[in-house]
Chain A
Amino acid sequence: MELDELERDALRELANVGLSRAATQLSELLNDHIEMTVPLVQVVPYDQVTQALQLDPLASVAAVWQSFSGQSEGTSILMFPSEDSKKLVHALVGPSMQGAGEDDLRGIEHEAMMEIGNIIITSGMAVIADMLGHEVRMSLPGYMEGNLPDILAQRNRDNAGREMQAIIMFTHLKAAQREIEGRMVMLMSVDSVQVLFERLHKLLKGL
């Protein structure tokens, strides 16, 4: 599905509003000033996701996912390079991790990332649900670590064979004097994406 520039800009703006809300929540939670922006939004067919994400397919990625159901079904996955997510968590919850062993650290990282990802995904999906104009029910979040093809293969087993589209939000997160480039991928049916863009179109016409 091709997006014209105006539509892409509009979706990016909405995503920015959604994620700045997430940043406020995170700032409160982590007692730190956190900024989140969405510099780029793309919509691509499922088979082009790997390419469009612009991530090293061999590098390890930390991913938080939540599947959604209702009138639209699919999965939202938030990804950060593992190294970055580790550093971020260390910077944010450093004091409570002092003296913790390697295994404890992994547990703490997973938990913290899952909660942070949960907040970001909820905000991102709220934007999409608003656009779709119907309720979207989210599952509890899950955490995965691995390379990109593994993560996509695992998360999309249920929807294999179905015609899917991916909305990719490139996210830029600034926290604890660090800048982290993440990706939020929303895998959903072609029909849902179609509805989304019809709404977007109407919204733009109304302006």
Chain B
Amino acid sequence: MKRWESGWFNTPLRIVIAVGVVVFSVEFLFMTLLHDVIMPLTSFTVSDRTWSIIDAVTLVVLVSPVLYLLVFVRMQRDFAELTQLFANLTDTLMIGVLLVDTDLRVHRWNQWLERKTGISSQQACGKLLTELFVDFNSPRLLSAIELCIKHKSPQLISQTLNRYVLPIPLVSPMHDLKLMQQQVSVAPLTNSRGETLAAISINDVTESVAKSSALARLAMKMESQSNRDQLTGAYNRHFLWSWLTPQLKQSVRHSQALSCLMLDIDFFKRINDTYGHDVGDAVLRGFAEILHEQMRDSDILVRYGGEEFVVLLTHADAAVALEIANRILDRVRKTAIVPLEVGDVRCSIGVSSWTPEEPCSAEELLKGADRRLYHAKHNGRDQVVIDSESPRSPR
């Protein structure tokens, strides 16, 4: 009978009963006096109507405390039920709810927490958080509790900046996560005695953290596996090899020549250093565009390294490759790549070819072009080199 323990005999009830007793005693005395003393001695009489009014007043005075008591008891019972309901409510929630004071002493611990931590409400209540979790180490939660209680300002603790506040081990570790990832809010709760507690609610976001990190890994993998260079739209090295090997086999089968141009923008580092990386990126994009314009549909463009590109020309022997290389050299010289002016960007090109007469492997093809590109650079840049024997430009 918890509801009888405190406060049921409260002030308003006491006043109602006291007033009732006083009014009733006064009336009783007055009645006795009137009926037994005054009326026999004098000729004073009281009409029936007056008697009935007096009776009614007496009845009301007698009945009202009883009615009040009945209503009051009923209210007490409803209130106790409501309190119990609210206490149970926190147990039905799918989030962790605990109440702590400034010392980190636990005042309430809901069922969700019992389930997730294996610590029962009985064990938890009255204990300090630091006693319950030996490796408790969350300065953010400490300061949030302080801010919350001292300044009555609720605090959000996101999983973005804090992965968790209470070290709760996961029953079954998810990916590389061993502790529950949490999204937490701390709100002030003041009781009737004016003491403020911090109501901490904990959301388990482990699954979404695991999901998003899995997605992030997937995205990274997909990016590395994708075929295109993001800046220039050219194919990347990964694609080059997957394309070249079957293409060479086809060349062997059909006895068709295949040529490779290796191109490098002259003094690109100087452009980057002088104008900044934004201009450097614009030059790379502009350069790739010029290459695209000079290529045929069956050719492919690869960004081979920083400012190094490879153009693979199908059905092209050395003569065709040289013609295309010279056309590229000419276009680059005559084009203004915004924001630079005409002539600011130059390039060097090395050319190598696979022919049925002089076959080679894919690696050798690229190496050959690279060697000639080196010669072009060595000979003063801004030129095409196709002759593998002499380090002199053919032009």
Q: Which residues on A are within 8 Å of B, measured CB to CB?
A: 25, 28-30, 66, 92-93, 96, 98-101, 104, 108, 111-112, 114-116, 118-119, 121-123, 125-126, 129, 135-141
Q: Which of B153, B160, B215 contacts A66 (CB 8 A)?
A: B153
Q: Does B107 contact A (CB under 8 A)?
A: no
Shortest Cβ distance from A21 into chain B, in angstroms? 10
Residues of A within 8 A of B143 (CB): 25, 28
Given known pairs A29-B162, A98-B216, A114-B156, the reply for A126 and B185 (CB within 8 Å) is no
What number of B residues sit within 8 Å (CB to CB) of A?
A: 26
A125 near B160: Cβ-Cβ < 8 Å: no
Residues of A within 8 A of B154 (CB): 118, 138-141
Q: Does B226 contact A (CB under 8 A)?
A: no
Given known pairs A29-B162, A93-B161, A115-B156, the reply for A126 and B216 (CB within 8 Å) is no
- The answer for the CA separation of A114 and B152 in the assembled complex, in Å, is 17
A138 near B153: Cβ-Cβ < 8 Å: yes
Given known pairs A25-B143, A100-B212, the reply for A112 and B160 (CB within 8 Å) is yes
Q: Does B360 contact A (CB under 8 A)?
A: no
A115 near B147: Cβ-Cβ < 8 Å: no
CB-CB nearest in chain B for A116:
B161
B153 near A125: Cβ-Cβ < 8 Å: yes
Q: List B residues 134-190 near A (Cβ within 8 Å).
A: 139-140, 143, 147, 150-162, 185, 187-188
A122 near B153: Cβ-Cβ < 8 Å: yes
B212 near A104: Cβ-Cβ < 8 Å: yes
- The answer for the CA separation of A66 and B151 in the assembled complex, in Å, is 13
Q: Which of A99, A114, A125, A136 contacts B219 (CB 8 A)?
A: A99
A to B CB contacts below 8 Å, 8 in the list:
A28-B139, A66-B153, A98-B220, A122-B153, A137-B152, A138-B152, A140-B154, A140-B185
Given known pairs A28-B139, A29-B140, the reply for A114 and B216 (CB within 8 Å) is no
Given known pairs A29-B161, A140-B185, the reply for A122 and B147 (CB within 8 Å) is yes
Residues of A within 8 A of B220 (CB): 98-99
B155 near A30: Cβ-Cβ < 8 Å: no
CB-CB nearest in chain B for A64:
B156
B160 near A115: Cβ-Cβ < 8 Å: yes
Residues of A within 8 A of B158 (CB): 111-112, 114-115
Residues of B within 8 A of A28 (CB): 139-140, 143
The binding surface of chain A is classed by DSSP as: helix
- The answer for the CA separation of A138 and B215 in the assembled complex, in Å, is 37
Shortest Cβ distance from A77 into chain B, in angstroms? 15
Given known pairs A99-B216, A100-B212, the reply for A126 and B159 (CB within 8 Å) is no
Interface centre among A123, A136, A138 (most CB of B within 10 A): A138
Kindly list 6 other residue pairs between chains A and B, CB separation below 8 angstroms, not including A99-B217, A122-B147, A123-B147.
Answer: A29-B140, A99-B216, A104-B216, A122-B153, A129-B151, A136-B151
- The answer for the CA separation of A135 and B139 in the assembled complex, in Å, is 25
B212 near A122: Cβ-Cβ < 8 Å: no
Residues of B within 8 A of A140 (CB): 154, 156, 185, 187
B151 near A138: Cβ-Cβ < 8 Å: yes
B161 near A30: Cβ-Cβ < 8 Å: yes
Residues of B within 8 A of A129 (CB): 151
- The answer for the CA separation of A136 and B151 in the assembled complex, in Å, is 7
- The answer for the CA separation of A118 and B158 in the assembled complex, in Å, is 11
Shortest Cβ distance from A26 into chain B, in angstroms? 10
Enumerate the 10 nearest inter-chain pairs by beta-carbon distance, A residue then B residue, closest first: A99-B216, A138-B153, A111-B158, A122-B153, A111-B160, A99-B220, A126-B151, A140-B154, A112-B160, A115-B158
